[in-house]
């Protein structure tokens, strides 16, 4: 039974960093705590590690109450954003540190320590660098050493605080995939904190979306992405077009246009609403395909890898629409700046109520 | 580079070489006689040993103070921080007079210590106390910036790996701070050897017992024995310089490994 958080709260002065969070994490899962900066996700991680004390609530780690234990008795592995390697120790000694500081009776013999460290370094593909010092390694290499160091003490849970955010995009991608693979091999319960939705979607078994010290939604990446519980989650998970309007008699207003409201909102008399459309759920064509199509003019074209981003000014809408189409389609339609197109909105999500982004 | 050499020459090397040139006309024999006189030898021994002990005490006190100043927030911290520099600013004679008053048999501390028959004034212990005061800011001010730039995360990482506070200090912090600590202690030590003003008031200046080397130089000057004074100074200079050089070498050797 992995980790159970019960009603954790934490305030810093007036500021409520964590507001009554409860969470269950099964053994062997890889969990992402996802949220904007300042949402309390790092604080939550630090509370689990014992680096921060919760004002109230309980932390149960493998059916043992560890709420008030100091970090060194919690047996967690912590990986820091900026690696926090020991500069004066070489790679081998960094990884061996956790074993060498064990009380004499529990400490493995020298040769056992050596075998374990070498095994770990091989696993993180850093076995060629045992004698190097951290200053001689690149960021990605340092983070891998930090990971090996955290795993050396056989932690019950591995906590990673924005582990890849200090790395450049290419290395980040690579390390992400590699971490996923590593986790599939060793199955240690892991929690990582990130503000990068892409990272969370790609890496995690389960995503916990946090905002203002509270959990907005939790579930598998698929669930969270396809069925966001509220406007915040929808907005936070990926790019989005937002239209402010009103919902009235089963219709949602979108500028001068009206769309059918989703079934669950059909019966609402009248309320302010927000309509969300993902850029890739927008269809573009040169010919009008239905009555509800919007007419627009392309104002900007941006390259996003294999996708093309379009900024389209539509008649009757006060803000331009962001759309994303495959490169192939872009070429086939012979699109260019100032070209007139028809815009089909394939899928919308409508949320009512006043929500601020 | 050229600028540095010029600067060093103008303000350090040329003035100091005067000591050398003043000593040369003396001849070898009188030089040896001057610097191996028992009183002079005793003063060297005293100067180096007291400066050494004071520097060691400063290492501990300075480390602790720097730690508190960097890691804790408390009211009056700014004042305390400024107080650290006071030994730099205060004319050392003032410090000397203060210590002499405090530790004299009728002074605040002197009275208390007299009950156990302990005497500070006119003893090497008194000299050490004065030198601790003088050398203290050197240690604090060299360690402080290193401590400040050190991330708390490093300590937290050690804690998460199961290290006790002592293990964290011993295995992580101390090696990290060591070069700065060594620099600070060296500076304090060097300052202690040359310190004059504050010491002479508390030392009592008893020949063979509490006469420090700078005082020997001054008293020779008072007797218009310029050559003798510069002979003593030359030896003092050579010993100090070689010790500083040695400590620098130790530091260099310490640092080399971690650089890429």
Q: What is the 3-state secondary structure (H, E, C) of A142-207?
A: HHHHHHHHHHCCCCCEEEEECCCCCCCHHHHHHHHHHHHHHHHHHCCEEEEEECCHHHHHHHCCEE
User: What residues of chain B lie within 8 A of the CB of A78, using their CB?
Assistant: 156-157, 160
If one counts every other C-beta atom within 10 angstroms of the C-beta of residue A21, the result is: 24
Tell me the per-residue pLDDT of B180-192, one tens digit each, with 9 for 90 and over: 888 888 888 888 8
User: What residues of chain A lie within 8 A of the CB of B156, using their CB?
Assistant: 51, 71, 78, 80, 84
Q: Which of B146, B157, B175, B180 to mutate to test the interface with A (most CBs of A within 10 A)?
A: B157
Tell me the per-residue pLDDT of A81-100, one tens digit each, with 9 for 90 and over: 888 999 888 999 999 998 98
Tell me the per-residue pLDDT of B31-88, one tens digit each, with 9 for 90 and over: 777 777 788 888 888 888 888 999 999 999 999 999 888 888 888 888 888 888 888 8
- Minimum-distance CB partner of B151 among A84, A136, A150: A84
**CA-closest candidate to residue A175, choices A205, A145, A151, A130:** A145
User: What residues of chain A lie within 8 A of the CB of B158, using their CB?
Assistant: 86, 97, 101
Residue in A closest to B170 by C-alpha: A101
Rounded to an integer, the average pLDDT of A287-293 is: 80
CA distance B164 to chain A (A): 7
Report how far residue A23's alpha carbon sits from residue A3's, in angstroms, rounded to the nearest whole number: 8
CA distance A146 to chain B (A): 9
Please tell me the pTM assigned to this model.
Answer: 0.77
Q: Tell me: pLDDT of A207 over 90.
A: yes
- Minimum-distance CB partner of B159 among A71, A87, A150: A71
Tell me the per-residue pLDDT of A212-268, one tens digit each, with 9 for 90 and over: 889 999 999 999 988 888 888 888 888 888 888 888 877 887 777 777 777 777 777
- pLDDT at position B254, please? 73
Report how far residue B94's alpha carbon sits from residue B259's, in angstroms, rounded to the nearest whole number: 44
Yes or no: say if A151 and A76 are a contact pair by the CB < 8 Å rule.
no
Interstrand relation of A30-34 and A189-194 (parallel, antiparallel or unpaired): parallel
- Minimum-distance CB partner of A88 among B151, B258, B260: B258
Yes or no: say if B47 and B193 are a contact pair by the CB < 8 Å rule.
yes
Q: Which of A97, A117, A147 to mutate to test the interface with B (most CBs of B within 10 A)?
A: A97
Inter-chain contact B151–A51, Cβ cutoff 8 Å?
no
Report how far residue B164's alpha carbon sits from residue A222's, in angstroms, rounded to the nearest whole number: 43
Q: Tell me: pLDDT of A55 over 80.
A: yes
Give all domains of chain A, ordered by start, each with its CATH number: 3-236 (3.40.50.300), 241-352 (2.40.50.100)
CA distance A159 to chain B (A): 10
Residue A128 per-residue DSSP state: G
- pLDDT at position B260, please? 45
What is the residue extent of each domain of chain B?
A: 37-211
- pLDDT at position A114, please? 92
Contacts (Cβ under 8 Å, ≥6 apart) of B12:
none
Q: Which of B154, B162, B180 to mutate to test the interface with A (most CBs of A within 10 A)?
A: B162
Q: Which CATH code of 3.40.190.80, 1.10.274.10, 1.10.3720.10, 1.20.120.1200 fits the domain covering B37-211?
A: 1.10.3720.10
Give the residue with greater pLDDT, B16 vs A65.
Answer: A65
Average pLDDT, chain B: 83
Share of chain A above pLDDT 70, in %: 98
User: What residues of chain A lie within 8 A of the CB of B153, using their CB?
Assistant: 80, 82, 84
Tokens of B237: 């200079």
Complex ipTM? 0.78
User: What residues of chain B lie within 8 A of the CB of A71, using their CB?
Assistant: 156, 159-160
Report how far residue A143's alpha carbon sits from residue A150's, in angstroms, rounded to the nearest whole number: 10
Interstrand relation of A157-161 and A76-79 (parallel, antiparallel or unpaired): parallel
Average pLDDT, chain A: 86
Q: Tell me: pLDDT of A357 over 50.
A: no
CA distance A289 to chain B (A): 59
Inter-chain contact A88–B172, Cβ cutoff 8 Å?
yes
Rounded to an integer, the average pLDDT of A127-141 is: 89
């Amino acid at each position: 039974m992995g980790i159970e958080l019960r009603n954790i709260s934490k305030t810093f002065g007036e500021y409520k960093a964590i507001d009554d969070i409860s969470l269950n994490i099964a053994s062997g899962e890889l969990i992402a705590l996802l949220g904007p900066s300042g949402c309390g996700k790092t604080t939550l991680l630090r509370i689990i590690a014992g680096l921060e004390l919760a004002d109230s609530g309980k932390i149960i780690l493998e059916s043992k109450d560890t709420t008030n234990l100091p970090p060194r008795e919690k047996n967690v592995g912590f990986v820091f954003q900026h690696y926090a390697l020991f500069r004066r120790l070489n790679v081998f000694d960094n990884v061996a540190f956790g074993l060498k500081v064990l009380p004499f009776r529990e400490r493995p013999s020298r040769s056992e320590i050596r075998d374990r460290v070498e095994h770990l370094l091989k696993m993180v593909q850093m076995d060629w660098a045992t004698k190097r010092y951290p200053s001689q390694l690149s960021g990605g290499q340092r983070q891998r050493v930090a990971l090996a160091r955290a795993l050396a003490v056989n932690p019950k849970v591995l906590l990673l605080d924005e582990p890849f955010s200090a790395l450049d995009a290419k290395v980040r991608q690579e390390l992400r995939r590699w971490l996923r693979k590593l986790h599939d091999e060793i199955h240690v319960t892991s929690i990582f904190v990130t503000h990068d939705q892409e990272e969370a979607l790609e890496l995690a078994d389960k995503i916990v979306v946090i905002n203002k010290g509270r959990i907005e939604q939790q579930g598998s990446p698929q669930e969270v992405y396809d069925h966001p519980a509220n406007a915040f989650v929808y907005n936070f998970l990926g790019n989005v077009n937002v239209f402010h309007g009103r919902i009235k008699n089963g219709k949602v207003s979108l500028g001068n246009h009206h769309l059918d409201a989703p079934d669950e909102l059909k019966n609402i008399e009248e309320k302010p609403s927000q309509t969300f459309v993902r850029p890739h759920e927008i269809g573009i064509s040169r010919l009008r395909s239905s009555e509800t199509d919007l007419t627009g003019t392309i104002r900007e074209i941006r390259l996003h890898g294999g996708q093309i981003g379009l900024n389209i000014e539509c008649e009757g809408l006060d803000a331009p629409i962001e759309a994303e189409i495959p490169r192939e389609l872009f070429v086939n339609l012979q699109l260019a700046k100032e070209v007139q197109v028809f815009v089909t909105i394939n899928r919308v999500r409508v949320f009512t109520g006043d929500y601020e982004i | 580079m050229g600028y540095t050499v010029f600067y060093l020459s103008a303000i350090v090397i040329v003035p100091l070489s005067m000591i050398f040139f003043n000593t040369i006309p003396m001849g070898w024999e009188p030089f040896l006689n001057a610097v191996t006189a028992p009183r002079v030898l005793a003063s060297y021994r005293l100067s180096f040993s007291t400066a050494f002990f004071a520097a060691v005490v400063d290492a501990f006190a300075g480390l602790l103070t720097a730690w508190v100043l960097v890691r804790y927030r408390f009211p009056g911290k700014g004042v305390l921080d400024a107080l650290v520099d006071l030994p730099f600013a205060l004319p050392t004679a003032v410090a000397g007079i203060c210590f002499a008053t405090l530790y004299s048999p009728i002074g605040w501390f002197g009275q208390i210590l007299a009950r156990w028959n302990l005497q500070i004034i006119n003893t090497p212990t008194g000299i050490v106390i004065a030198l601790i005061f003088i050398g203290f800011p050197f240690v604090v001010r060299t360690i402080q910036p290193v401590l400040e730039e050190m991330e708390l995360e490093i300590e937290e990482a050690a804690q998460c790996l199961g290290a006790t506070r002592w293990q964290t200090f011993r295995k992580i912090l101390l090696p990290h701070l060591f070069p700065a600590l060594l620099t600070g202690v060296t500076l304090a030590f060097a300052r202690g050897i040359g310190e004059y003003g504050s010491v002479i008031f508390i030392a009592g200046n008893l020949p063979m017992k509490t006469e420090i080397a700078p005082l020997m130089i001054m008293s020779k000057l008072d007797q218009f024995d310029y050559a003798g004074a510069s002979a003593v100074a030359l030896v003092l200079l050579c010993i100090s310089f070689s010790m500083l050089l040695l400590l620098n070498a130790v530091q260099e050797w310490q640092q080399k490994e971690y650089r890429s």
